[in-house]
Amino acid sequence: MKDILEYTDYRQYIADYYADRKAKSAFSWQEFAKTAGFSSPVYLKYVSEGRFNLSEEAAVRTAQAMRLADFECKFFVEMVKFDHAKNDAEKRAAFSKMISIAEAHKSKILEGESFRFFEDWKNPVLRELAPAMPGAKPLALAHACRPEISAAEVSETLNFLVKADLLKKDKDGNYAQTDKVVTTGPMNVTPLAVRGLHHQMGEFALDAIENVPQDERHFSGLTLGITREAYQEIVRKIAEFRKDIIDIATREPATDEVYRLNVQFFPMTNKSLNKKD
């Protein structure tokens, strides 16, 4: 089975661990549960299926039953915390610790770099800005950002983008994109970071209403009464529209300015108007 540092779902790890042991011996859920100190012979089976949860103390016992090393045990406990987190802040804290543990042992989580990319607005902005300003020093790039950031933040961000293979740097110190478009893809953890990015970009959009000249920005909106079927069709149209925008933006290699497009479509009521109590 895969190394534990390649997982983000502790339930899947338990299921895979059991399947691996079962394939090699007469291992049973009862034996597994007993070794971990559970009275119910199917407790861990139900945990793997999402029917039961593990407390932090039970997570440690389960990790020990799977004979995980010290850092692997800590990683497993953080996976449990990540799964059980009550809000995004707790999820980010747990996932960040998972990344730190993995990196400390020369490994990386599949979604770690993607998570970091979408977690901070500076990453997508500097990924577009740096190639558009060849030869520019970090301070010049920092002054070009809205809002302005420090040269140290620019250097840190560029180093990450190069390390994550999202930018490449030539011998003259100029940057180029490795791929033209970055998307989240079908991942489990990255949407957590994307939600944070949407919050950041939403705040910048509010600031732009007041501080960006009207001929350099475009804001418009609609309030609509729709059915669920209409909602789904509109979402499909938005997806098609985004692809059209990407085609236009990537048509030419030159960049004069870095823009952000927020596409927001959300309910302004709590329940369907047609439902009756």
Question: Helix or strand or coil: residue 175?
Answer: strand
Number of domains in the chain: 1
pLDDT at residue number 229: 92
Alpha-carbon gap, residue 32 to 20, rounded angstroms: 12
Contacts (Cβ under 8 Å, ≥6 apart) of 105: 5, 71
Q: Is the residue at 76 inside a domain?
A: yes
Q: Is the residue at 105 inside a domain?
A: yes
Helix (H) / strand (E) element for 112: namely helix 112-119
Name the residue range of residue 51's domain: 4-109
> Concatenated DSSP letters for 119-140?
H-THHHHHHHHHHHSTT--HHH
Residue ranges in the chain whose pLDDT is less than 50: 186, 277
Alpha-carbon gap, residue 231 to 57, rounded angstroms: 44
Question: Helix or strand or coil: residue 62?
Answer: helix
Residue type, 39: S
CATH of the domain at 33: 1.10.260
Q: Is the residue at 143 inside a domain?
A: no
Q: Is the residue at 245 inside a domain?
A: no
pLDDT at residue number 251: 85
pLDDT at residue number 252: 84
Please choose, from the candidates 74, 86, 22, the residue with its C-alpha nearest in 3D space to the C-alpha of residue 48. Answer: 22
pTM equals: 0.56
pLDDT at residue number 107: 66
Q: Is the residue at 195 inside a domain?
A: no
pLDDT at residue number 269: 80
Q: Is the residue at 25 inside a domain?
A: yes
Q: Is the residue at 202 inside a domain?
A: no
pLDDT at residue number 22: 92
Q: Is the residue at 94 inside a domain?
A: yes
Alpha-carbon gap, residue 145 to 261, rounded angstroms: 16
Please choose, from the candidates 214, 212, 220, the residue with its C-alpha nearest in 3D space to the C-alpha of residue 265. Answer: 220
- Whole-angstrom CA distances from 183 to 28, 31, 124, 194, 230 are 41, 43, 11, 10, 26
